[in-house]
Amino acid sequence: MAHSGGRGWYGKVIAAALGVTAVAAMTSLWDTRLGSSDGRPDRGSVSASPSGPDAQAQGQKTVPVSEEIAHASDGGARSVNITIDDGPDPAWTPQMLEVLRDNGVKATFCMVGTQAQAHPDLVKDVVAAGHRLCDHTVSHDVTMDRRSEAYQSQQILDAERMITKASGGVRPMYYRAPGGAFTPYSRHLAASRGMRPLGWNIDSKDFERAGTAAIVATVKGEMSNGPTLLFHDGGGDRSQTVAALRELLPWLKEQGYSFGFPVR
């Protein structure tokens, strides 16, 4: 999610996650907007593997990736990345999957840990359709960059475990900080776990629910900003997003764009 709007819904998510975070705290202890951190994870503790990124996502050993926030597409200069945040949601994720399937497009789903835990069948549906997973923390706290390293670690690593379990063993390949609230520590931690920090170039502003036409116009007007587009399948009524994607995906093809995944 790009904005801190919709706090009522996220308040419920955070409240639902409190039990998880409390237990986890007992058992485990594109921009970087705050200063540096000293307690960085030990790089030497990460196991290397010769397998590629998709093999890694299927449960192979962790392969560290770049800490830099990714914006580019692995499909080249005329390729775009569709990224979809805050789900999975039983009402809207299946509709997103249908639109993507109808247009032959693969996307990256940035999932909130508690949502993945609540809807494992949807996580498996996303994976089965050939899309990629992204860790979007346990409770979607947009103040992550002002929280302790222990808290950041719990939010990222517990969400990774929740998503991996829900998917049946497929690990997230990216980490997107809620609201873009990255820190040097969180980027390094995610990258050490094989999750490339993921930014965006175009915020569709679908979270504002200003109407399908407004979402479409925003994306069309900002295509020169870069290849990574931000949409949402969670956090409320996403019918406008579904309708906008039905219009935008064919339009992007007509403009000569192909579809890829964020670089790893």
Q: If we measure between CA atoms, which residue out of 87, 132, 89 comes closest to residue 108?
A: 132
Helix axis angle, 93-103 to 239-254, nearest 10°? 10
Active site residue 232: yes
Please enumerate in sequence order all residues whose Cβ is within 8 A of that of 216, keeping only pairs 6 or more positions apart, or say none.
244, 247, 248, 251
How many Cα atoms within 13 Å fall on the side-chain side of residue 188? 13
CB atoms within 10 A of CB 55: 13
Interaxial angle between packed helices 149-167 and 184-192, expressed in degrees from 0 to 180 and rounded to the nearest 10: 30
Round to whole Å and give the CA distance between 17 and 15.
5
User: Rounded to an integer, what distance in angstroms lies between the CA atom of residue 233 and that of residue 239?
Assistant: 9
Q: Per the residue annotation, which of 119, 131, 140, 232 is the catalytic one?
A: 232
Ordered alpha helix ranges (H), the chain: 7-27, 53-57, 93-103, 113-118, 120-128, 149-167, 184-192, 212-221, 239-254
Q: Which of 85, 135, 203, 233 is catalytic?
A: 85
Residues 124 and 150: their CA atoms lie apart, in Å, by 30
Is 188 part of the annotated catalytic residue set? no
Q: Which residues are catalytic?
A: 85, 232
